[in-house]
Amino acid sequence: MDQVNPVERNVQRWIYLPLTITLGAAALQANASEVSLIAVSTKLGSEARTQSSGVNVSQSGLAQQGTAEIVVSSNGEVLKLSSSSDTVTEGSFITFTLTTIQTPPGRTFTLELSGIEPSDVIGGLIHPMTVERSGSAKLRIYFASDAELEGMQTVNAHIKDSSSEVVISLHDGARVVQNAGQRLGMSNGIDSLRWLPDKDLDDLFADYAELGVQWFRFDLAWSVVQKADPDSYDWAQIDRIVSGANRHGIQLLACLTFAPKWVRTTGGLTSSENIAAFANFSAKAVARYNVNGINSWEIWNEPNLKTFWETGPDPAVYTNVLKAAYTAIKSVDPTSTVIAGGLSPARATDKSKSPSRWISARSFLSEMYANGAKDHFDAIGFHPYSAPLMPSSPAPWSGWQMMASTSPNLRSIMTANGDAGKKIWITEYGAATNEPVSEVSEQKQARMLQEAYDLAGGYAWAGPLFWYSYRDRGTNPADKEDWFGLISASNTKKPAYETYRSITGSKAGDVAPAQN
């Protein structure tokens, strides 16, 4: 990248409005095929150059007036960044998306923030600052702080119009966006890891690190650790996974799931004794691995499907399990994050459709609350699969619509139960590429990844998004489960690999994946 002026060396992210464009270390991500800069629009050709003067720009979250220039190649690589601004202050970058308001043309807005020290606020911006047309407008806040902000911060935002009247206030938790890698993770099942030789496992985590993966969700399987009986523990296979991730600086989300045979043959988790055994296992896992940096724990994988809950999905039984595990985990590490569910969309509209096989995520969550789940989780896990449709599709069975658009939706159910401040972690999302069975090409898989990342980034209530998965499991053309990877079973990178790399700003494009 050309070094045009001192600003370039400090630009960590570049938000250019009205279209939000994020420039990572050496990549451009945009939610359209065009780059729109106020009144200037240009297609991305072999080299596209866009200039604009006297407009608001945001560098590392700090809003400034100035002249900006962006030059990008056809593959999105940033060739040049320049700005007339001569200083950039580093800081945490925070966004809010506000509700839509009705407004006349020409209305100008200003921003006031409270809840953090005024001296810590180093810049702020509203988009749009002035509304050119009457009708509805969605205002989005950007501001930066040089305070050490971690996790959820309660920041009050007040939007005033040109007459100083407060037109809207937001009192919510601000999402601190530190970098793309912490918003986008990877998810793989235990069987893709547990049988790998030590070197292959280490090479796999090295591949993850090269790709910019900073979060990894894996199954900390009860059935593996306590395979024999409730009194014996074998942590060896889990130890290898945790150690490998630690060596490469990858943060772990552990999914406590899969009942051992001795549980399944003695009533499953309908038995109070078996629930107590799971709670004990959960506490032992936290005690063993919180010193290794595991602070986030998901309680089961897709318990609203019979596939993963052998006795048939039952929100009352699951809630009993959740309560016991939550209490056990918090007794060992009160600072831990306990995530409920890992729910599948389960396209049924209510449990009467197929109660022995699945219960829709919305019905399941509602019944969890009815059975007292409210104070026994810190976030909801959800798997908003939508294939063959894009995440933005309005189809009501799409998991993305179930989160925030259908009536009811997961967010409205959480809000109605006093949990609006809790997040939804997207602990799995992906798409299989075994055309024509899956109806998703490799190119479409890449577009789905980019769109999912963009959508999740626009939701203040969304936690990290975990892509499922890294490598294809096999090559059976009739089995979609074989085809979810960013790379093929023969180690060929799919277009989605490059999309993931561009989002994280990784330089892994020329690195061959490990052979295993």
Structure tokens at 352: 């009467």
pLDDT value of position 306:
92
Long-range pairs, 398-406, Cβ under 8 A, ≥24: 398/345, 399/345, 399/361, 399/429, 400/452, 400/455, 402/345, 402/360, 402/361, 402/362, 403/459, 404/459, 406/362
Question: CA angle, corner 330, sides to 324 and 335, nearest 5?
Answer: 150
pLDDT attached to residue 481: 93
Q: Under CATH, to which class is 92-177 assigned?
A: mainly beta
**3-state DSSP helix/strand/coil % of the chain, to nearest 5:** 30, 30, 40
Which tokens is 407 given? 């009536």
pTM metric for this prediction: 0.66
Give CB contacts under 8 A, 24+ apart, made by 132-137: 132/105, 132/106, 133/105, 134/103, 134/104, 134/105, 135/102, 135/103, 136/100, 136/101, 136/102, 136/103, 137/100, 137/101, 137/103
Superfamily of domain 190-510: Glycosidases (3.20.20.80)
- C-alpha dist (Å) from residue 134 to 98, 102, 223, 337, 355: 18, 8, 60, 44, 48
Q: What is the largest CA-CA distance in the chain?
A: 72
**Nearest to residue 223, comparing CAs of 182, 174, 265, 261?**
261
* Contact partners, residue 132, CB within 8 Å, separation at least 6: 105, 106
* Residue 10 neighbours by CB under 8 Å, 6+ apart: 59, 60, 88, 90
- Buried b / exposed e across 272-297, counting CB within 10 Å, b at 16+? eebbebbbebbbbbbebbbeeebbbb
For the chain, which residues make up each domain, given as ranges? 6-83, 92-177, 190-510
**Do residues 325 and 282 lie in contact, with contact meaning Cβ atoms separated by under 8 Å?**
yes
Residues of the chain with pLDDT under 50: 1-96, 149-154, 171-181, 350, 352, 509-512
Residue with tokens 């309680």: 299
Question: Phi and psi for 137 in degrees, rounded to 5?
Answer: -145, 140
Over the Cα atoms of the chain, what is R_g?
A: 24
- pLDDT tens per residue, range 416-455: 999 999 999 999 999 999 999 999 999 999 999 999 998 8
Q: Answer whether 92-177 and 190-510 agree in fold.
A: no
Q: Do the beta carbons of residue 226 and residue 235 sit within 8 Å?
A: no
- Helix H or strand E segment including 215: strand 215-221
Residue 505's pLDDT is what? Answer: 75
